[in-house]
Amino acid sequence: MRIRLERFPLAAPFRISRGIRTVAEIVEVELQVDGVTGRGESVPYTRYGETLDSVVDQIEEIRSAVQTGLDRAGLQALLPPGAARNAVDCALWDLNVKQGLDVDLLSAPQPVATALTIGVDTPAAMEREAAKLANVPVIKVKVAAQQVEESLCAVRRAAPLPRMIVDPNESWDIGMLQDLQPLLEDLDVAFVEQPLPSTEDGALAGLVRRVPVCADESCHTADDLDRLEGLYDIVNIKLDKTGGLTEAFSLLEAARNTGFGVMVGCMISSSLSIAPALQIAAQADFVDLDGPAWLKHDRRGGISIRNGQLIPPRAGFWGSGAIVQPV
């Protein structure tokens, strides 16, 4: 097992309500058995108390178990949900499939419409960015608690056609969300993603909503769903929260069985994070996998995004059965 830390500079600053990012810091795990290599990637997230060092330490704690044949089921018991387990889990999936195991558990990835993100900025700057995306299928608009109406109206004015997702990243309160309901409806917003802090989302039980609400920071694994019923309409599945593709499949199934809509999302990452997430995207209602689009340079052979359509990686990049990108 090899652990590698990588830094991918962003092409432009990525702003959300809780801060600005200019580089993506990534943990890559590489597993090799008899000349066959499996790779997985994760993005430690300070929102969940993770750092590069803490994630590496977690992975190192299970090195001996991995090197003596730890499988995906055993991994779920050894590490909690989060970035460390994600990197190892996805590396195990890649390794197993390339060994000819579990091939039938993964579908061949296909092109899919993905949301393209507009970061927090001045309304005028957000309007300019929206104009560039006026003809894509879906846009995701990051907002804070200030200038919300001005920002959303500016974006919708420049891009009247795409479906619009609004993401405050926990920066609103219940009064603000209630007051904004008429505006959100008028702007034909598809849903609002995690408007309240996860510690305060019980207030959603009394919300008279005109648009659906999606859980992101409030939903990590299938065990969260019981608490979220009656509060949210949609859940956002991210492999860095579930701790890998194994639990992501479980969350997907449980969400469907309990009537939640499904979104699949990502951190700012390379295509190695996106490739396994495409397995969830194939069955999701909404896809938000544009993380690599923010990088100056992605991994060779990774995804591409054309007019809002995500084209899967080249064959052999991760797993098997990948379609070959058109030249």
Determine the Cα angle at 307 with ends 312 and 249, to 5°.
40
Residue whose tokens read 């070959």: 324
Q: Chain centroid to CA 39: how far? A: 18
* Collapsed DSSP state (helix, strand, coil) of residue 83: helix
Check 132, 142, 241, 296 and give the catalytic one: 142
Check 140, 238, 241, 296 and give the catalytic one: 238
Please answer whether residues 43 and 26 qualify as being in contact, where contact means their C-beta atoms are separated by less than 8 angstroms: yes
Residue whose tokens read 């060092």: 53
Known catalytic residue at 140: no
What is the residue type of 13? P
Output DSSP code: residue 60: H
Residue whose tokens read 């097992």: 1
Query: Which structure tokens are listed for 191?
Result: 């849903």
* Collapsed DSSP state (helix, strand, coil) of residue 33: strand
Known catalytic residue at 132: no
Indicate the angle between helix axes 83-98 and 245-257, nearest 10 degrees: 100
Please answer whether residues 283 and 308 qualify as being in contact, where contact means their C-beta atoms are separated by less than 8 angstroms: no
Catalytic residues: 142, 238
